[in-house]
Amino acid sequence: MTDFEDEDWTEEEIETQFPLGDGTAETEAIVYCPHCGEANEVALDPGSGNDQEYVEDCQVCCRPWLMYVKYGRDGAAEVEVYASDS
């Protein structure tokens, strides 16, 4: 399909193409560092796939975490954070 904004879609066509919601996916989350326990606001990238795994550093203590992000069909993100030795 082409750019959505360039099309003259009816509400019914939109619901047919995107039946599970408004197409909005979570792009940020609050997680707690497994090392120091401090809250961190992290950016999420729904364009990187439904199941993601990557390393990110704590914004407070700078130690690495292993992050798992899983997007549901409704755009909600489930985020798990574990201490990493990387």
Is 3 a domain residue? no
Percent of the chain topping pLDDT 90 = 59
Given this model, what pLDDT does residue 23 score?
62
Is 35 a domain residue? yes
Is 15 a domain residue? no
Across 10-22, average pLDDT: 60
Is 1 a domain residue? no
> Structurally, how many domains does the chain consist of?
1
Provide the domain limits for residue 82.
Answer: 27-86
Is 75 a domain residue? yes
Is 63 a domain residue? yes
Sign of the C-alpha dihedral computed for residues 61, 64, 65 and 69 taken in this order: positive
pLDDT tens column, 52-65? 999 999 999 999 99
Pairing of strands 39-43, 28-32: antiparallel
Given this model, what pLDDT does residue 79 score?
97
- Give yes or no for residue 38 having a pLDDT over 90: yes
Across 45-52, average pLDDT: 92
Higher-confidence position of 34 and 13: 34
Is 6 a domain residue? no
